[in-house]
């Protein structure tokens, strides 16, 4: 039985009290939005699409379109809370979202705010996942692979794109799989699409062979992937001077409202380069993952479900200790499960996306990347640079890198050295040291006529 809208508006008061909003402006905005929404709901017999459209029309007199769309998020959260507590039987926004087969609420609100909500919602409708004639066996295969313990994230994306294409072209669903794949391959002329089609053909053949072992395996065609590889961007190898410049910029990063942020960015950059951590691994680090006494950090459940313990140099541990002390002084949570990189304004850890934005901004400020665009060095190139510079240090100290590659692979979280070899970019310095090593070892073997060639 529904209990909202309640005449005393106690549910709004309870909801606002539970949010713990610290800003007076935020409390005012939330209260204004929720009370205006209940005013509209009380004039309708039931909570449905008509209430949403009516509130959007009334609020258009007070707020700009962008502000109104932004504040719909307040209503989304309030409706989710009412549904969870049983105050309403259904959330009309969630119902429309499910009917359109989309995950976000904002497109639904944008369609409702248009001149023709019915037509806009019809255009918003997306095909149901795995709703084509092949959808059943594809969904069954994805479930099977995930039940076996695989993450299996890339392959379902290929299958869903193909499935959506079949639903939008129903005439193809009566043909053979070969005809479907031919039309899918001709849908786009890009190199990446051709490579994805080749992978999809092999994947579908594997799925069908599980159901009918008499189907012959498909020979792979490496040409599409080679065409894509020709246009891959070569990793940028940061020099130690580049890294020092970025660290100096991180320490002086402008952040008047968050005094801890410059030191947080500095420590993130330090771990990204010295420990070769991915941005997701940085975001998932907890305070309890740092062992100051043992000089190690624990990187948990990373790619392919692996956990590794990384020893760090004393200099890096000293910087980590300084950061943790500064973190404690600003009042951050001391719970071992709280995020290591803590931000004052949200009282929570940094997300992977926030870390990427901050570190890429540091790279831009260092003059290593253009002010705009995706060109230039990337954040992940720090991991490539760590590998190349480590091998260079081994060459300079007389260590054979071939003997150390298995240890480096383990440190980076790789299963074997084949994955680590991808990170070895041949630079002029690396080529020079490798040639010198070969000359010192191999030149005596080329003694022709008693003369050793230089």
Rounded to the nearest 10°, the torsion over CA 72, 100, 46, 13 is: -30
d(CA 452, CA 454): 6
Torsion-angle region of 257 (φ positive above 0: left; ψ -120 to 50: alpha; else: beta) = alpha
* Planar angle of CA 19, 23, 24, nearest 5 degrees: 105
pLDDT in tens, 392-428: 999 999 888 889 999 999 999 988 888 898 898 888 8
Query: Residues with Cβ < 8 Å from 43, sequence gap 6 or more?
Result: 54
Query: Residues with Cβ < 8 Å from 134, sequence gap 6 or more?
Result: 162, 163, 166, 177, 180, 204
Specify whether 188 is catalytic: no
Residue 126's pLDDT band, with cuts at 50, 70 and 90, is confident
Instruction: Please tell me the predicted confidence (pLDDT) of residue 452.
Output: 47
Instruction: Please tell me the predicted confidence (pLDDT) of residue 442.
Output: 67
pLDDT in tens, 313-323: 999 999 999 99
Average pLDDT of 260-275?
A: 96
pLDDT in tens, 108-120: 999 999 999 999 9
Residue 439's pLDDT band, with cuts at 50, 70 and 90, is confident
Q: Which own/partner pairs from 127-133 qualify as long-range (CB within 8 Å, at least 24 positions apart)?
A: 127/101, 127/163, 127/164, 127/167, 127/168, 128/101, 128/167, 129/101, 129/160, 129/163, 130/159, 130/160, 130/163, 131/163, 131/167, 132/163, 132/166, 132/167, 132/173, 133/166, 133/173
- 280 or 22: which leads in pLDDT: 280
Which residues on adjacent β-strands are paired with residue 105? none
Instruction: Please tell me the predicted confidence (pLDDT) of residue 190.
Output: 93
Q: Which of 164, 201, 278, 369 is catalytic?
A: 278
Query: Residues with Cβ < 8 Å from 139, sequence gap 6 or more?
Result: 129, 130
Instruction: Please tell me the predicted confidence (pLDDT) of residue 174.
Output: 85
Contact 83, 20 (CB under 8 A): no
CB atoms inside a 10 Å sphere around CB 279: 23
Specify whether 278 is catalytic: yes
pLDDT in tens, 358-379: 999 999 999 999 998 888 999 9
Instruction: Tell me if residue 311 falls in helix, strand or coil.
Output: strand
Contact 142, 155 (CB under 8 A): yes
Instruction: Please tell me the predicted confidence (pLDDT) of residue 149.
Output: 87
pLDDT in tens, 216-246: 888 889 999 999 888 888 899 999 999 999 9
State the fold for domain 240-379.
hpI Integrase; Chain A (1.10.443)
Instruction: Please tell me the predicted confidence (pLDDT) of residue 303.
Output: 75
pLDDT at 454 over 60: no
pLDDT in tens, 17-47: 998 887 888 889 899 999 999 999 999 989 9
CB atoms inside a 10 Å sphere around CB 312: 20
Q: Which of 303, 364, 404, 437 is catalytic?
A: 303
DSSP state of 338: S
Nearest to 346 by CA among 74, 26, 11: 26
Instruction: Please tell me the predicted confidence (pLDDT) of residue 233.
Output: 82
DSSP state of 347: T
Query: Residues with Cβ < 8 Å from 94, sequence gap 6 or more?
Result: 79, 80, 83, 105
Phi then psi for residue 310, to 5 deg, are: -110, 120
pLDDT at 178 over 60: yes
Q: What is the pTM of this model?
A: 0.67
């Amino acid at each position: 039985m529904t209990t909202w809208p309640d005449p005393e508006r106690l549910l709004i008061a309870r909801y606002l009290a539970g949010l713990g909003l610290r800003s007076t402006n935020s409390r005012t905005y939330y209260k204004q939005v929720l009370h205006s929404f209940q005013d509209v709901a009380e004039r309708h017999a039931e909570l449905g699409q008509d209430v949403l459209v009516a509130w959007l029309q009334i609020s258009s007199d007070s707020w700009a379109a962008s502000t109104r769309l932004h504040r719909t998020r307040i209503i989304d959260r309030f409706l989710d809370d009412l549904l969870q507590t049983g105050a309403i039987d259904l959330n009309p926004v969630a119902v429309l979202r499910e009917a359109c087969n989309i995950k976000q609420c904002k497109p639904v609100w944008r369609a409702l705010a248009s001149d023709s909500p019915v037509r806009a919602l019809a255009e918003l409708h997306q095909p149901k996942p795995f709703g084509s004639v092949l959808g059943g066996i594809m969904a069954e295969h994805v479930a099977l692979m995930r039940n076996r313990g695989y993450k299996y994230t890339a392959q379902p994306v290929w299958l869903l794109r193909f499935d959506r294409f079949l639903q939008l072209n129903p005439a193809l669903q009566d043909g053979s799989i070969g005809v479907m794949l031919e039309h899918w391959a001709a849908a786009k002329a890009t190199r990446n699409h051709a490579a994805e089609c080749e992978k999809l053909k092999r994947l579908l053949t594997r799925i069908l062979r599980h159901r009918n072992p008499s189907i012959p395996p498909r020979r792979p065609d490496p040409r599409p992937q080679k065409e894509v590889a020709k246009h891959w961007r070569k990793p940028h190898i940061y020099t130690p001077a580049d890294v020092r410049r970025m660290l100096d910029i991180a320490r002086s990063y402008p952040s008047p409202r968050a005094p801890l942020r410059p030191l947080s960015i500095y420590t993130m950059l330090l771990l990204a380069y010295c420990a070769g951590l991915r941005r997701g691994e940085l975001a998932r680090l907890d305070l309890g993952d740092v062992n100051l006494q043992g000089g190690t950090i624990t990187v948990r459940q990373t790619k392919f479900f692996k956990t590794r313990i990384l020893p760090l140099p004393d200099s890096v541990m000293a910087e980590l200790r300084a950061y943790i002390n500064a973190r404690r002084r600003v009042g951050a949570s001391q719970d071992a499960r709280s995020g290591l990189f803590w931000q004052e304004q949200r009282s929570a850890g940094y997300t992977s996306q926030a870390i990427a934005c901050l570190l890429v901004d540091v790279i831009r400020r260092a003059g290593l990347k253009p002010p705009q665009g995706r060109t230039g060095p990337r954040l992940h190139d720090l991991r490539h640079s760590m590998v190349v510079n480590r091998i260079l240090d081994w060459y300079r100290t007389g260590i054979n890198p071939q003997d150390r590659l298995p240890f480096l692979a383990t440190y980076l979280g790789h299963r074997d050295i084949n994955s680590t070899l991808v990170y070895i970019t041949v630079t002029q310095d690396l080529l020079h040291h490798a040639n010198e090593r070969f000359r010192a070892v191999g030149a005596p073997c080329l003694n022709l006529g008693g003369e050793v060639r230089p």
